[in-house]
Amino acid sequence: MVEELMKLEMDELQEIIERKIEEAKENFSLPDLMENK
């Protein structure tokens, strides 16, 4: 049961991290593109 909870939390953390990475990409891609032009 503890292992299941740990796995569930890890899956949720991974989901949150991936979402944050996607948000960061969206936030930083535009300024980076503007600077490169």
Residue 6's pLDDT is 79
Helix runs in 1-37, H state only: 2-36
Residue 2 structure tokens: 């503890």
The pLDDT of residue 13 is 92
Cα-only R_g, the chain? 16
Residue 2 to residue 27: CA distance in whole angstroms:
37
Mean pLDDT of 11-36: 83
pLDDT digits (tens, 9 = 90+) for 1-23: 678 877 888 899 999 999 999 99
Q: Encoding tokens for residue 4?
A: 């299941």
pLDDT band at 28 (very low <50, low <70, confident <90, very high): confident
Q: Can you give the pLDDT at residue 21?
A: 92
pLDDT computed for residue 3 by the predictor: 84
